[in-house]
Amino acid sequence: MSNGKTGTANEVPARLGNEVEDGDIPQNMQLNPPSNQTSNQLPRSESPDCEVGSSAGHSSANSLNSTSFLPNSHPVYNWQATKTTVKERFAFMFNNEILSDVHFIVGRDHGQQRIPAHRFVLAVGSAVFDAMFNGTLATRADTVELPDIEPAAFLALLKFLYSDEVQIGPETVMTTLYTAKKYAVPALERHCVDFLKSNLGADNAFMLLTQARLFDEPQLASLCLDTIDKNTGEALAADGFTDVDQETLGAVLERDTLRIREAKLFQAVVRWAVAECGRQQLPVTPHNQRGVLGGCLQLVRFPLMSVEEFAYTPAQSGILTDREVVSLFLYFIVNPKPSVSFKDIPRCSMTGKEQSVNRFRQIESRWGYSGTSDRIRFIADRRIFVVGFGLYGSIHGPTDYDVTLQVIHTASGNVCGSNSTSFSCDGTSYTFRVMFKEPVEIVPNTSYTASATLKGPDSHYGTRGQRKVVVDCPSG
């Protein structure tokens, strides 16, 4: 059946099949074959001579389901018909060569990845991309290189712009946060910060604090600092602590709310200094340790240590000068205390409201001191922290007292907290606050002994003391 034609009707399916096999089908396209492909036959028609576009051609197109044919073109997969919503259609275009009009070369060296995208979608989702493609200095290049971006983070950004889907994990959250900030996508930023908050712990608080300061996330930084306050020892023991920069170290050391003995805090600071010497390729010597610490050394509150703690480590470390060591020893031994260059304000690690408990209902005069301790046993029905005692002052007007405070575990005799210091009174009958260097933890339903040994003139004293005092405390 020539009839001027170059082939017969039953040759048409074979030619169509060759076009599909040889054609350049875009990525992510699939061709659904006709159900009667194996027969290689077309339905009979009154006109056996047919071309693509004739009635026989339409019959073949219908059998291909979602594949359509255009004159003089390759078959086109009708993917649009399979997507019922705008979100589905745009999500399908994510990381897809179909209709892409720009490519990004993301990453460096062997980790580079070529990622297709669509200028319109990016410009709608990001003011930075809008300026990149449509601004006065818009790029016309088909390929954009982004060597400072990780491929996984860039794909997470595109995934969000195309579909609103958040695709972040522990390994990619920080690089995704950086990418979201760079391209001004605040909604994705918030998702990253929320993810970090939900995964914040003592083991990663210092690492996240560094990143929060770097990316200017004050709320996240505040949460990191709160976590460090409540779990100071555990946070300082984590690997990430020695990796922080000097500025972040200083931000932590200046806090009044750390829950750790100052001697242990100094040991952690020395560990950081050793690591920093390594980063700067310096020999680990006391001189270099002091150099890399800079102003952070002044933030260690050596006066809060006991004389034994100071003598055991800081005084022998070589990091302090001889003059500093001598002045601190004088501070520990001599009364009144000489001034030193280091802060002596106690780190009050309590986040709750401070409460004062007074059991006396009457005040009398002339309580003498002969070197013995005034003591009282007490029990609390919930976990509390004792930050200090209120002591009565002189009946003879303004004067100074030397005092040693102690909280003792009654059963074992172990000293839970102590401080030897001095205080001044003004001659009134009020009590005067004398504080421990660190809050002393009191375990519920356990007997403790509060002890105060004073050296000074006769004082006021309390009488008619109550055996039980009830104080309403906030929860927490």
Q: What's the chain look like in SS3?
A: CCCCCCCCHHHHHHHHHHHHHHCCCCCCCCCCCCCCHHHCCCCCCCCCCCCCCCHHHHHHHHHCCCEECCCCCCCEECHHHHCCCHHHHHHHHCCCCCCCCEEEEECCHHHCEEEEECHHHHHHHCHHHHHHHHCCCCCCCCEEEECCCCHHHHHHHHHHHHHCCCCCCCCCHHHHHHHHHHCCCHHHHHHHHHHHHHCCCCCCHHHHHHHHHHCCCHHHHHHHHHHHHHCHHHHHHCHHHHHCCHHHHHHHHCCCCCCCCHHHHHHHHHHHHHHHHHHCCCCCCHHHHHHHHHHHHHHCCHHHCCHHHHHHCHHHHCCCCHHHHHHHHHHHHCCCCCCCCCCCCCCCCCCCCCCCCCCCCEEEEEECCCCCCEEEEECCCCCEEEEEEEEECECCCCEEEEEEEEEEECCCCCEEEEEEEEEEECCCCCEEEEEEEEEEEECCCCCEEEEEEEECCCEEEEECCCCCCCCCCCCC
Closest CA to 436 of 450, 455, 446, 447: 450
Q: In this predicted model, what pLDDT tens digit does every residue of 210-266 receive, in sequence order?
A: 989 988 889 899 999 999 998 999 999 998 999 999 999 999 999 988 988 899 999
- Locate tokens 């005069």: which residue? 365
pLDDT at position 76 over 80: no
CA distance 52 to 19: 12
pLDDT at position 13 over 80: no
Structure confidence at residue 464 (pLDDT): 87
CA distance 354 to 197: 28
Residue 459 bridge partners (DSSP)? 367, 394
* Per-residue tokens: 366: 């002339």
CA distance 437 to 439: 7
* Per-residue tokens: 389: 């005692």
Task: Taking each helix axis as running N to C, give the angle between helix 55-63 and helix 12-22, from 0 to 180 degrees, rounded to the nearest 10.
Answer: 50
- Indicate the pTM of the whole model: 0.59
pLDDT class for 294, splitting at 50, 70, 90? very high
pLDDT at position 309 over 70: yes
Task: Taking each helix axis as running N to C, give the angle between helix 186-198 and helix 151-163, from 0 to 180 degrees, rounded to the nearest 10.
Answer: 120
- Selected from 3.40.50.1220, 2.60.120.820, 2.40.30.170, 3.40.30.10, the CATH number assigned to the domain covering 362-463 reads 2.60.120.820
CB neighbour list of residue 62: distance below 8 Å, 6 or more residues apart:
none
Structure confidence at residue 473 (pLDDT): 67
pLDDT class for 7, splitting at 50, 70, 90? very low
Provide the CATH topology of domain 232-333: 1.25.40
CA angle 213, 216, 218 (to 5 degrees): 80
Judge contact between 64 and 75, C-beta under 8 A. yes
Q: Is 292 exposed, middle or buried (0-12, 13-18, 19+ CB in 10 A)?
A: buried
Written as one letter, the residue type at 419 is N
Highest mean pLDDT among 273-282, 333-342, 460-469: 273-282
Kindly report which listed range (23-37, 69-83, 168-182) carries the lowest average pLDDT score.
23-37
Q: In this predicted model, what pLDDT tens digit does every residue of 129-182 receive, in sequence order?
A: 999 999 988 888 899 999 999 999 999 999 999 999 999 988 899 999 999 999
pLDDT at position 61 over 50: no
Are β-strands 362-367 and 76-77 bridged in parallel, bridged antiparallel, or unpaired? unpaired
CA distance 445 to 443: 7
**Count of beta carbons in the 10 Å neighbourhood of residue 140:** 5
Closest CA to 402 of 336, 345, 460: 336
- Cα→Cα distances 392→108, 248, 287, Å: 71, 42, 47
- Cα→Cα distances 270→237, 274, 307, 317, 406, Å: 12, 6, 19, 9, 30
Ranges in the chain annotated CATH 1.25.40:
232-333
pLDDT at position 298 over 90: yes
Closest CA to 277 of 293, 262, 260, 266: 293
Are β-strands 143-146 and 459-463 bridged in parallel, bridged antiparallel, or unpaired? unpaired
Ranges in the chain annotated CATH 3.30.710.10:
86-198
- Cα→Cα distances 326→307, 314, 334, 448, Å: 12, 12, 12, 36
Closest CA to 438 of 258, 311, 291, 266: 258
Structure confidence at residue 345 (pLDDT): 83
Kindly report which listed range (29-38, 139-148, 328-337, 383-392) carries the lowest average pLDDT score.
29-38
More confident residue, 155 or 337: 155
Provide the CATH topology of domain 86-198: Potassium Channel Kv1.1; Chain A (3.30.710)
Structure confidence at residue 353 (pLDDT): 61
pLDDT class for 64, splitting at 50, 70, 90? very low
CA distance 35 to 62: 10
**Summary mean pLDDT of the chain:** 82
